[in-house]
Amino acid sequence: MGIEFRGVTKQYPGGTVAVDDLSLTVEDGTITVFVGPSGCGKTTSLRMINRMVEPTGGSVLLDGKDVRESDPPVLRRGIGYVIQNAGLFPHRTVLDNVATVPLLSGWGKRKARERAAELLDTVGLPAELAKRYPAQLSGGQQQRVGVARALAADSPVLLMDEPFSAVDPIVREGLQDELLRVQSQLGKTIVFVTHDIDEAVRLGDKVAVMRVGGKLAQYGTPADVLRHPVDDFVASFVGRDRGYRGLSFVDSTGVEVKDLATVELGEQVSGPVQDWLLAVNAERQPRGWLAPESTVEGELAEADLVAGGSLYQQGTAIRGALDAALSSPAGLGVVVDDDGRVVGAVTARQILDVLETRP
């Protein structure tokens, strides 16, 4: 179900223009992220979709129909909504929090609870948490309950307002992965608000960058926005390291994978080794590096090795190859196939050369 903003403006009674002539289309079944500094009108834009805020100009269309033609409570029942800190009911159990919307929609108690239990599983929460109260969960777990509750409406549209901002970066990454996984199964139309550009490019099929004054600065794919910012505002907002971030979207064509000498764990290594030598297991999966000048007594064991270096899976974006090369103690990024077996190695120099010669 697509969403269209047509020349939408919101001026609050005090005179603040929170959103100024916003026009964009959110495609059916995609994630669109509204991103921008504090006060640029992201939340106001989101809330005009479910009529928590009414525009003062223009119109919002849901599936081609002006939202003003729908009664707000009916409209909202059909649109999932997730906010920061989850907004859970403190005196209801986790299960009943999630079952709320199905109950409101007239499902029987048992069916609503069964559905709620399924959804807790969908968002990766163990069943034993169902009977707890929200205060007995971690912040990340509460956010998952919030997402499960929003999914319970089984609506094609989901609005998410900074849902993951209150949790630490590691937990946030887990929640983002989970959202992407759930989305790959459910294919909802999701509008997501954040002030974090990393989150925006990670989650969005499209990213709408807004500036204070409620103006849309740029609307495009994450790759577009990172690689071709339309003006200085967008360029500075996406940050100086956008070149590096942008590499997440660049394929690795032209990067030649070089052969790499390896030694298998359990083998005898005679004399001190000359150069960094990659140790692999019987499946040819990398286990660590043998440092130059090191000598091995008897059979090569894990204890002889220096750990380190991320692995680059062949065929994925070039950023992974650069990460692998830069994080490797040997200066050689280890390239693996789908099964994690060593294919060869790349150097950072090679990757930079390829990038420099590209248009």
Ligand X SMILES: Nc1ncnc2c1ncn2[C@@H]1O[C@H](COP(=O)(O)OP(=O)(O)OP(=O)(O)O)[C@@H](O)[C@H]1O
> What residues make contact with ligand X under the rule CB under 6 A?
12, 14, 16, 18, 36, 38-44, 195
Q: Compare residues 81 and 276 and give the one whose CB is closer to ligand X.
A: 81
Q: CA distances (Å), 111 to each of 2, 103, 146, 310, in order? A: 30, 9, 19, 46
Q: Classify the phi-psi angles of 293: left when phi > 0, otherwise alpha if psi is within -120 to 50, otherwise beta.
A: left
Q: Which two tokens stand for residue 316?
A: 């994925």
Q: Which residue has the tokens 């339309």?
A: 230
Task: Give the C-alpha separation, 359 to 286, whole Å.
Answer: 34
What is the 8-class DSSP label of residue 129? G
* Residue 3 C-beta: closest distance to ligand X, Å: 17
Q: Compare residues 16 and 316 and give the one whose CB is closer to ligand X.
A: 16
* Residue 120 C-beta: closest distance to ligand X, Å: 29
Q: Compare residues 207 and 260 and give the one whose CB is closer to ligand X.
A: 207
Task: Give the C-alpha separation, 146 to 47, whole Å.
Answer: 17
Q: Compare residues 161 and 178 and give the one whose CB is closer to ligand X.
A: 161
What is the 8-class DSSP label of residue 305? P
Q: Compare residues 214 and 288 and give the one whose CB is closer to ligand X.
A: 214
* Residue 294 C-beta: closest distance to ligand X, Å: 53
Q: Compare residues 41 and 55 and give the one whose CB is closer to ligand X.
A: 41
Q: Which two tokens stand for residue 181?
A: 């996984």
* Residue 165 C-beta: closest distance to ligand X, Å: 9
DSSP string across 38-73: TTSSHHHHHHTTTTSS--SEEEEEETTEEGGGS-HH
Q: Compare residues 46 and 324 and give the one whose CB is closer to ligand X.
A: 46
Task: Give the C-alpha separation, 233 to 35, whole Å.
Answer: 13
* Residue 289 C-beta: closest distance to ligand X, Å: 45
Q: Bridge partners of 190?
A: 31, 158
* Residue 44 C-beta: closest distance to ligand X, Å: 3
Three-class SS state of 335? strand
The H or E element spanning position 125 is none
Give the Cβ contact number of residue 313 at 10 Å. Answer: 16
* Residue 295 C-beta: closest distance to ligand X, Å: 59
* Residue 53 C-beta: closest distance to ligand X, Å: 8
Q: Compare residues 49 and 351 and give the one whose CB is closer to ligand X.
A: 49
Q: Compare residues 14 and 271 and give the one whose CB is closer to ligand X.
A: 14
Question: Contact at 8 Å (CB) between 187 and 179?
Answer: no
DSSP string across 189-220: EEEEEES-HHHHHHH-SEEEEEETTTEEEEEE
* Residue 307 C-beta: closest distance to ligand X, Å: 41
